[in-house]
Amino acid sequence: MLATGYTLGGNAGVSIEYYPVKWISVGANAGIFSATFYKFNVSNNQSSTTVDLEAKDFENISRMDYSLGVRFHF
């Protein structure tokens, strides 16, 4: 069985970097990705059908990520 779907998604992020000295930097990043599926196409080797999801069953694949880091500049 194979389930496929199409949706519109978006991504946004922000980052900051600070150089305490010329050869090293410290940074922070944060981002968000948002997308939701409202229907799927479900198929097997013999047939295919479209499944419209109810509002309580929408498939949300959104995420939020963040990172902290240190960089050495040579």
CB under 8 Å to 19, separation ≥6 — which residues? 25
pLDDT for 49: 93
Pairwise CA distance, residues 65 & 34, whole Å: 12
Residue 1 has pLDDT above 90, yes or no: no
Number of compact structural domains in the chain: 1
d(CA 23, CA 71): 8
User: pLDDT tens digits for 8-56?
Assistant: 999 999 999 999 999 999 999 999 999 999 999 999 988 999 999 999 9
Q: How many CB atoms lie within 10 A of CB 5?
A: 15
For residue 26, what are the domain limits? Answer: 2-72
| 72 has pLDDT over 90 | yes
